[in-house]
Every structure is written in structure tokens, then in C-alpha cells.
């Protein structure tokens, strides 16, 4: 019997962006660019998380914290997951 996958979430880092771009291109007809993800790193309202399964990026989610309300800016999961 195999164990459940190890899932973890972490704040987006610049070095995660190349993997996000691959998932983004697969998931969206008008994908975000490298620059758009980099803007999220500098956005003081932005919270962006990368989700890993067994160490590999499996998806991501971003939102803006606006006066106590969350606005989802982007969300995607790798198709093979």
C-alpha cells in the first residue's frame, strides 16, 4: 500500500515562476506572463502560494487582501494532478 502524497504550501518565490508558467500555459487560454507573476511578488496586497505534491509544483493560488476581503487573482492546478 502506498502512502498519501505529501502536500505542502509555501509563499511564491521568484525561482518558482518557471514552473508556474508551464502550468499557467496549460490551464489558461490567455496565460499570465513572467512579468505578471513577478508583479505579484512586489504587490503589498498580494498573497501568492505555490502548492507542491511530493516536492513538485502541482498548483498555485493568488489573492489580494483588500480591506479584509479576499479577491482571487489566479488559481490553477497541473492537469496531471
pLDDT tens-digit map of 18-77: 999 999 999 999 999 999 999 999 999 999 999 999 888 999 999 999 888 899 999 999
Tell me if residue 64 falls in helix, strand or coil. Answer: strand
Q: How many other C-beta atoms are found inside a 10 Å radius of the C-beta of residue 27?
A: 17
Tell me, what's the pLDDT at 3? 77
Burial (CB count <10 Å: 0-12, 13-18, 19+), residue 37: buried
Torsion of CA 80, 33, 36, 34, to 10 degrees: 90
Amino acid at each position: 500500500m502506498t502512502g498519501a502524497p505529501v502536500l505542502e504550501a509555501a509563499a511564491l518565490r521568484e525561482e518558482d515562476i518557471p514552473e508556474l508558467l508551464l502550468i499557467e500555459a496549460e490551464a489558461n487560454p490567455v496565460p499570465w506572463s513572467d512579468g505578471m507573476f513577478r508583479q505579484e511578488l512586489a504587490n503589498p496586497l498580494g498573497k501568492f502560494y505555490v502548492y507542491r505534491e511530493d516536492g513538485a509544483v502541482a498548483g498555485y493560488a493568488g489573492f489580494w487582501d483588500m480591506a479584509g476581503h479576499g479577491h482571487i487573482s489566479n488559481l490553477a492546478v497541473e492537469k496531471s494532478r
